[in-house]
Amino acid sequence: MTITGQSLIGAMSVRGTHGAFHGINARTGETLEPAFGGATQSDLERASALAEAAFDTFRETPPETRAVFLETIGEQIMSIGDALIERCMAETGLPRARLEGERARTVGQLRLFAGVLRNGDFVDARIDPAQPDRKPMPRVDLRLRNVAIGPVAVFGASNFPLAFSVAGGDTASALAAGCPVIVKAHGAHPGTSELVGRAIQQAVRQCALPEGVFSLLFDSGLSIGQALVADARIKAVGFTGSRAGGVALMKIANAREEPVPVYAEMSSINPVVLLPGALGARGTAIAQQFAASLTLGAGQFCTNPGLVLAVDDESLRAFERAAGVALASAGASTMLTPGIHANYVKGVERLAEHADVEQLARGQAGGPFDAQAALFATTAQAFSADSALREEVFGPASLIVRCRDLDELHGMLKSLEGQLTVAVHLDHDDRAACRALLPTLERKAGRILANGFGTGVEVGHAMVHGGPFPATSDTRTTSVGSRAIERFLRPVSYQDLPDELLPQELRDGNPLVLARRIDGVMNRGENKNI
């Protein structure tokens, strides 16, 4: 498959004329061919009009049709073969094994949503049958199902160029819900984006779906992305990236005549709490696991452990030394973009120059855009006094906060903003201390882990990859796992509609054999009367 630098608008390939930009070789900083034409306002207009035109047909396709569509996208992605991995390696600096794993994860996510569609529970069908004889007033017949919210704009992430990008979790869950998707390609991996976009375009064709189900726009600045969020036909936005970017898009969506939800995943420092029993018993082993988690993927994981909280005693100091040794031998790896590398260097310098911060270790230096790991320590008092110490440094850097006692540690947790994950390392004797922290942990994070690290996000039914602001813009949702589909659905109630006018999911006799809640009680198709 050839990379052309064209936006994909429905079934067409269109060379944008609003400026141009190139992909960059992450390792060398060299320009990669071809140039990508920036989409124009009229390109956006065409993509939005097609999405709007496709919506009513697409949302009412049988779930099986959409399941096959998602599986076809997966097959098309696999059929690109090594060209996808090689282009992605060049654009992101990520190694082959990581990207092959990420491709499998991307296809796995698409299959997961195919399963969600076949299972049918996403419809959340509910029937409160009429009670004409109820006194003093008869009860109406009420039936509810979830419907797709409308065309969705997706902004992929730089750090997962496959699994959180053009055919990533946001796109898969929106398409599963029955929403056409317009992706604004991430500027850090445009060639990868085009290849995957063409795979989706081909799947649309192969499944004979309306062409407006999918479009991919390249933006030579920020204006097309912003206009996309402002477009009245877009009914929800999925975003993964920086806090500044997410908040900017939230503002645009809120300022619209009809405000729409922005599901943004942004910033998280993922605190790791080391309780005294665990630290005393196996501090060195935890330190080694911590260093491995911190440096994984050059620290460019949204669940990277950027903060460690522990009571200051000899066990903590031994942990610091062991983590320092492990990090000092950690090799440097290439960051996703020269810009992300420059921000990382700035963030590390800010910590290193802070009067109340002690530098404990630095990793190995490497090439011009390689991240050198960094470990720092400070006191709880200093951490409380300066909010800048709580800001995410995107990359393999972490800050240890030495606390006087468990009460002070608990106070530090209470003072934090929302997080994607919080990890607690505990032994049997630490359980009472952990129990005391749990209510705070639940208020702060989307996922609470014991004796592990947040890097490595399982894609399943019980996963929450979300959390209170600024981890995400909507604390009720997840962007990973089957519950991600809920972001792109809305409930509609039908009162007293004749059976033949009801959607199939709610008709008498349950023609789709769905699990339905009848008068609040789950019925798996056995009650044939309704």
Q: How far is the CB of 480 from ligand NAP (least distance, A)?
A: 9
In the annotation, is 52 catalytic?
no
CA distances from 345 to 159, 326, 365 (A): 17, 20, 12
CA dihedral 399, 400, 401, 402 (to 10 degrees): -150
Q: Which is nearer to ligand NAP, 210 or 306 (CB)?
A: 306
Q: How far is the CB of 412 from ligand NAP (least distance, A)?
A: 21
Q: Which burial class, exposed, middle or buried, applies to 230 when counting CB atoms under 10 A from its CB (0-12, 13-18, 19+)?
A: middle
**What is the spatial distance between Cα 119 and Cα 113, in angstroms, rounded to a whole number?**
10
Structure tokens at 138: 């008869």
Mention every residue, 6+ apart, whose C-beta is less than 8 A from residue 264. 237, 239, 240, 241, 246, 247, 249, 250, 472, 473
Q: Which is nearer to ligand NAP, 127 or 157 (CB)?
A: 157
Q: Which is nearer to ligand NAP, 63 or 297 (CB)?
A: 297
Mention every residue, 6+ apart, whose C-beta is less than 8 A from residue 507. 499
Amino acid at 88: C
Q: Which is nearer to ligand NAP, 84 or 252 (CB)?
A: 252
Site string for ligand NAP, 415-454 (x = CB under 6 A): ----------------------------------------
In the annotation, is 302 catalytic?
yes
Q: How far is the CB of 463 from ligand NAP (least distance, A)?
A: 13
Q: Which is nearer to ligand NAP, 248 or 253 (CB)?
A: 248
Structure tokens at 201: 């375009």
Instruction: Provide the b/e sequence for 436-462 (b: ≥16 CB within 10 Å).
Output: ebeeebeebbbbbbeeebbbebebeee
Three-state SS at 357 = coil
Q: Which is nearer to ligand NAP, 192 or 240 (CB)?
A: 240
Within 146-185, the residues that bind ligand NAP by CB under 6 A are: 155, 157-159, 184
Q: How far is the CB of 254 from ligand NAP (least distance, A)?
A: 14
Site string for ligand NAP, 181-220 (x = CB under 6 A): ---x-xx-------------------------------x-
Within 42-81, the residues that bind ligand NAP by CB under 6 A are: none
Check residue 245 for interaction with ligand NAP (CB under 6 A). Answer: yes
Q: Which is nearer to ligand NAP, 113 or 160 (CB)?
A: 160
Q: How far is the CB of 159 from ligand NAP (least distance, A)?
A: 4
**What is the spatial distance between Cα 86 and Cα 91, in angstroms, rounded to a whole number?**
9
Interface with ligand NAP (CB under 6 A), residue from 38, 161, 241, 347: 241
Would you say how long the chain is, in residues? 530
Which position among 91, 211, 265, 408 bears the catalytic label? 265
Q: For ligand NAP, how many residues bind (rule: CB under 6 A)?
A: 24
Mention every residue, 6+ apart, whose C-beta is less than 8 A from residue 394. 299, 300, 304, 340, 343, 344, 347
Q: How far is the CB of 268 from ligand NAP (least distance, A)?
A: 6
Q: Which burial class, exposed, middle or buried, applies to 86 when counting CB atoms under 10 A from its CB (0-12, 13-18, 19+)?
A: middle
Tokens 């509810």 belong to residue: 144
Q: Which is nearer to ligand NAP, 72 or 158 (CB)?
A: 158
Mention every residue, 6+ apart, whose C-beta is less than 8 A from residue 516. 125, 126, 127, 505, 506, 510, 522, 523, 525, 530
Within 392-421, the residues that bind ligand NAP by CB under 6 A are: 392, 394
Choose the binding region for ligand NAP from 99-107, 236-244, 426-434, 495-503 (rule: CB under 6 A). 236-244
Site string for ligand NAP, 247-286 (x = CB under 6 A): -x----------------xxxx------------------
Q: What is the DSSP string of 140-205?
A: PPEEEEEEE---EEEE--SS-TTTTSTTSHHHHHHHHHT--EEEE--TT-HHHHHHHHHHHHHHHH
Return the H-helix or E-strand segment holding 350. Answer: helix 338-352
Phi, psi of 27 (to 5 degrees): -75, -40
| Residue 120 near residue 506 (C-beta atoms within 8 A) | no
Q: How far is the CB of 341 from ligand NAP (least distance, A)?
A: 11
Tokens 């992305």 belong to residue: 225
Which position among 71, 91, 194, 302 bears the catalytic label? 302
Q: Which is nearer to ligand NAP, 63 or 418 (CB)?
A: 418
8-state DSSP, 472: B
Interface with ligand NAP (CB under 6 A), residue from 226, 359, 364, 381: 226
Site string for ligand NAP, 293-332 (x = CB under 6 A): ---------x------------------------------
Site string for ligand NAP, 454-493 (x = CB under 6 A): ----------------------------------------
Q: How far is the CB of 172 from ligand NAP (least distance, A)?
A: 16
Q: How far is the CB of 351 from ligand NAP (least distance, A)?
A: 15
Active-site positions read 265, 302
List interacting residues with ligand NAP (CB under 6 A).
Answer: 155, 157-159, 184, 186-187, 219, 222, 225-226, 240-242, 245, 248, 265-268, 302, 340, 392, 394
